[in-house]
Amino acid sequence: MMNRRNLLKGVTLGAGATALSPFLSHLRAAEIGKLPKRFVFVVKGSGLQAEYLNPEGLQHGGDTLVDASLDGKILPESLKPLEAFRNKLTIIQGLSGKMCSSGHNSWYGALGAFKSSQVTPPTGATIDGHLSNLFPSVFNHIGLKMGNGSQGTAYPAISAAGPGRQLAFQCDPAMAYQNLYGSIAAGGDIKNKYTRTGNVLDAMGADIKKLQRELPGAEREKLGHYLSGFEALKNRRTKLISMQAILRKNAPAVTDKYQSNVTTDHLEAHFDMAAAAMISGISNVVTVHCDSLDSSYQGLGITPKVHSVGHGSSSGDLSAQDCRNMIRTYHVKLIADLAEKLESTPEGDGTMLDNTMIVYVSDNSDKHHASATEWPMFVLGNSGGALNSKGRYLAYPRYGSANHRHTIGNWLTTMTHLAGVPQDHFGQPDMALGKLEMQSGPLSELLV
């Protein structure tokens, strides 16, 4: 009898097995109950003010752990868009990150827990790059960033796949769509660019192979590394083309947001693509870098750039704090929309949100000019039940108190446990808090 499991096994034997492998792997995983884990990192600039994440009646900054349920608590104004997901929301306060750079930016620190700068190559992987290596797909990692309106591809120095391997981010939503979904575009400029790119890759691959045959052994081996890179790009295109039916069903509609000059429209398009990438299965790890110091929120009616707002600039009748509140709430609304799309997509015995974690954090801890003693964040989702949260507020003892020992390194270590690939410590320790063994291990309160 040909049941679903046997059918899936049979399909893998066909000629299209390689091209269809991401989709077939997903179906087989669902069949045996091993659903994929997914991770979305939403990173903002200029600090995430801790006090604006506190539900009514709960405070951070004490000398002992605060561990409280969100049940019956009034969420802060900026988190109100997540009301429907409060039973999947975890607010985390009190983590420090003194092992990172501080000031205007921690660079790779927020996701890597190590010191760096804008021009210093990363010394290791950040958590998003690490997880993308462990949970590969057509695109191991997708980076999307709200630029200044003129950027295409950027390297904002917040994500890395390993030492010296920083990850790229797409700022132009039309270009990002071309790279992710150009194979199924109905026509026009995006489709034409995708076709031209494929023709160039084919020609370059043929030229490299021809040259390779004419070179002596050592040089031929070196050239082989270049050829493997082009072959990887071509294989990715083959997979995308083979998944056209899936992509057509789930790819976001190309609207005016993709061609708009308003950067907030770009950010909304990026969140649309992040949701589609997860639902279509072309990636398991997406990082959205919401903004940097030179970003503009004129689409929200905020005239000064993020840097100026951080220094106290007002916008008409809006104070600098009003502007920061509007920006934060806007991000949370976009996260809520993303969560709603995942929640409405069935998977296994639940939904895709059940197997996804969305992390909201700043690349600069809690202030515009940060000291990294407080690194607030929130998490939506529970990673297939691995995260011990059904709506929870955790505030660890403040930096400087006798009980403080928890850092963002412990949080990143916790993520490796939640992902099912545990390690003792992720990133660098804060030696001011003691030896590495005193800082190793996950945040045990968050593990089931």
pLDDT tens for residues 335-361? 999 999 999 888 888 889 999 999 999
Amino acid type, 132 = S
pLDDT score of 20:
43
Q: Between 227 and 325, name the one with better pLDDT.
A: 325
Is the pLDDT confidence value at 25 over 70?
no
What pLDDT does 55 receive? Answer: 98
Question: Does 196 fall in a domain?
Answer: no
Residue pair 81/336 in contact (Cβ under 8 Å)? The answer is yes
Higher pLDDT, 311 or 208: 311
Is 374 a residue whose pLDDT tops 70? yes
Measured at the CA of 161, the angle between CA 160 and CA 167, to 5 degrees, comes to 50
Q: Does residue 51 lie within any of the structural domains?
A: yes
Q: Is 137 inside any structural domain?
A: yes
Residue 143 reports pLDDT greater than 60: yes
> Which pLDDT score is estimated for 3?
44
Flag whether pLDDT at 275 surpasses 50: yes
Average pLDDT, the chain: 85
pLDDT band, very low/low/confident/very high, at 333 (cuts 50, 70, 90):
very high
Instruction: Tell me the β-bridge partners of 39.
Output: 285, 357
Number of domains in the chain: 1
CA distances 22 to 27, 151, 252, Å, are 9, 31, 19
pLDDT at residue 235 in the model: 58
Model confidence at 149, in pLDDT bands (50, 70, 90)? low
What pLDDT shows up at residue 8? 44
Q: Please tell me the distance from the alpha carbon of residue 383 to that of residue 225, in angstroms, as a whole number.
A: 37
Among the residue ranges 100-114, 203-217, 300-314, the one predicted with the least confidence is: 203-217
pLDDT tens figures, 285-317:
999 999 999 999 999 999 999 999 999 999 999
Residue 122 lies in a domain: yes
Residue 220 inside a domain? The answer is no
Residue 217 lies in a domain: no
pLDDT at 247: 76
Indicate if the pLDDT at residue 12 is higher than 50: no
Q: For 233-274, how does the pLDDT look when each residue is reduced to its tens digit (9 = 90+)?
A: 455 556 666 666 777 788 888 788 888 889 999 999 999 999
What integer pLDDT is reported at residue 10 of this predicted model?
A: 46
The proportion of the chain whose per-residue pLDDT surpasses 90, expressed as a percent, equals 64
- Report the range of poorest mean pLDDT among 15-29, 86-100, 312-326: 15-29
The residue segments making up the domain with residue 386 are 21-180+257-446
**Domain with 326 in it: what CATH number?**
3.40.720
Is residue 78 one of the residues assigned to a domain?
Answer: yes
Per-residue CA distances from 258 to 26, 43, 124, 426 (Å): 29, 21, 34, 37
pLDDT of residue 222: 44
Tell me the pLDDT tens digit for each residue of 120-137: 999 999 999 999 999 998
Query: Residue 328: what pLDDT?
Result: 98
- Tell me what the mean pLDDT of segment 382-394 comes to: 92
* Average pLDDT rounded to a whole number, residues 419-448: 93
Residue 215 in any domain: the answer is: no
Tokens coding 446: 């968050």
Instruction: Compute the Cα dihedral for 98, 64, 126, 39 and give only its sign.
Output: negative
Band the pLDDT of 226: cuts 50, 70, 90.
Answer: very low
Could you tell me which residue, 146 or 211, shows the higher pLDDT? 146
CA separation for the pair 325, 297 (Å, rounded): 12
pLDDT of residue 381: 93
| Angle between helical axes of 217-242 and 17-31 (0-180°, round to 10) | 60
Average pLDDT over residues 35-41: 92
